[in-house]
Chain A
């Protein structure tokens, strides 16, 4: 059965190439889309789980006033947690983020070494949902211990705009990607179906003879189904390989931009899981296409 399928493929290599390249292209796009979807999900989650609202405190704040503000914010029920970051802790965080860069640490400037005094203490509030930002921010803005800019604006940072923008982009990418994948899958099905139909049509005499010898429909269509599955599976492997190469090639560009959010290069285990899923999915797609072609002819 497999030998017959392989023989059929060998006898018309260009038809096989058309089927495999169409499937491979689809798999390539599906593979990239799956990884982009995963990445965008991780980026969104990263923004959602990091302290989202940072309110900088005046230097003359007291522990009691900070605790009072934390209680007020927490009591809204909209907050996952709210933590106080002292000046000393802010310095530690700064040092960790800049590493050993002497310029950023101030050791080579006229201003002298950066100390805890130059950094403000802050209150970091993690909201349950980005939708709750306005309520939390309004509470913080009313507090007298939050520092203000010279123009009188409270020094409160929150990534509402980024998050909204990112969510919109993610949704747009998902919609466009799914639409593209649907079109490409349809094209793959049609391509495999046409290739298999042509092969079956060219073997009508053989099929007719087999029927007269007592062959059942299933026996006759099996090699064509195996052939269709092979188109799907081989296309799956090639498409995956192309996407893996593309990801590895773009890793030097992406890695510094996604540091702390996504670990690059993408783990081989994840890629293997993706390969297994793609081969399975596109083998089924091949089987479906082959069935469409074979059943049509067997009924004649």
Chain B
């Protein structure tokens, strides 16, 4: 599903954030990406949605080769990769419901289906009673849940969660982690960046980055990842959703 092949990223300031990083992530994996601040975790996420281009090396997400991708197709890629941003990126003057619905409006869902789907997601992330509140009225944990709901509402095959438990108390962080596990169990490939090593589970793959290099990868498979098509997967989920509605 995801192939990073000798990827390096040097910012215009000359700061090298990633250096010859290579890894494969197969569909359905739960990967915990750890490392200190500045190790390059967020850069991996930004490269995944082509918010940045690598200085060298190649990145493949599904059937897309991001370096060769036409700019017009970037929005298509981003629709299939759910991202929980470190700073949430929840739009302040939209309600929780509107923020989550926005992801569906972008992909052209019909109005009635949007309402049903958002309600379902709010139940899933545990904030059904907060739908009409504005971000400023939410706690950190609630904001994080809203951000997760928005990232997965369009049923992406891949979810990248950048420090989803940062700045949260232990109990809330554990709840968010459990939520990500639940999303993973629904069949979504999850990449979770964290400082919190208490979430490391022998059952999950662990990649550690330090100073832009991989210092640990507990990958159980040395086989290259299959180029599972993101778009087809997404379509089939949409169809499933429609069938459920019918």
Q: Which A residues fall within an 8 A CB radius of B?
A: 205-206, 209-216, 219
Contacts and interface: CB of A to CB of B under 8 A. Distances in A.
B238 interface: no
Given A209-B89, A209-B91, A214 B77 contact: yes
B185 interface: no
Contact of B91 (A205, A211, A216): A205
Given A215-B75, A216-B75, A210 B83 contact: no
Interface string B4-17: 00000000000000
B46 to A, nearest CB: 9
Contacts of A205: 89, 91-92
Nearest to B85: A212
Contacts of B80: 214
B233 to A, nearest CB: 15
B76 interface: yes
A290 B142 CA distance: 37
A210 B51 contact: no
Contacts, number: 39
B49 interface: yes
B228 interface: no
8 contacts: A205-B92, A209-B91, A210-B102, A212-B85, A213-B102, A214-B76, A214-B78, A219-B106
Contact of A213 (B76, B92, B106): B106
A298 to B, nearest CB: 12
B91 A212 contact: no
B102 A212 contact: no
B51 A214 contact: no
A213 B78 CA distance: 6
A214 B109 CA distance: 14
A215 B89 contact: no
Interface of B: 49, 51, 75-80, 83, 85, 89, 91-94, 102-103, 105-107, 150
B134 to A, nearest CB: 13
Contacts of B76: 214
Contacts of B107: 214
A216 B106 CA distance: 8
A39 B92 CA distance: 55
A213 B147 CA distance: 12
The 10 closest A-B pairs by CB, nearest first: A214-B78, A214-B79, A209-B89, A215-B106, A214-B75, A216-B75, A206-B91, A214-B106, A213-B106, A213-B103
A279 B77 CA distance: 40
B83 A212 contact: yes
A218 to B, nearest CB: 10
A212 B49 contact: yes
Given A205-B91, A206-B91, A212 B78 contact: yes
Contacts of A212: 49, 51, 78, 83, 85, 89
Contacts of B89: 205, 209, 212
A214 B82 CA distance: 10
A209 B103 CA distance: 10
Nearest to A207: B91
A211 B51 CA distance: 9
Contacts of A215: 75, 106
Contacts of A206: 91, 93-94
B85 to A, nearest CB: 8
A212 B106 CA distance: 11
B201 to A, nearest CB: 29
Contacts of B79: 213-214
A206 B135 CA distance: 13
Given A213-B79, A214-B106, 5 more contacts: A210-B106, A211-B75, A212-B83, A214-B77, A216-B106
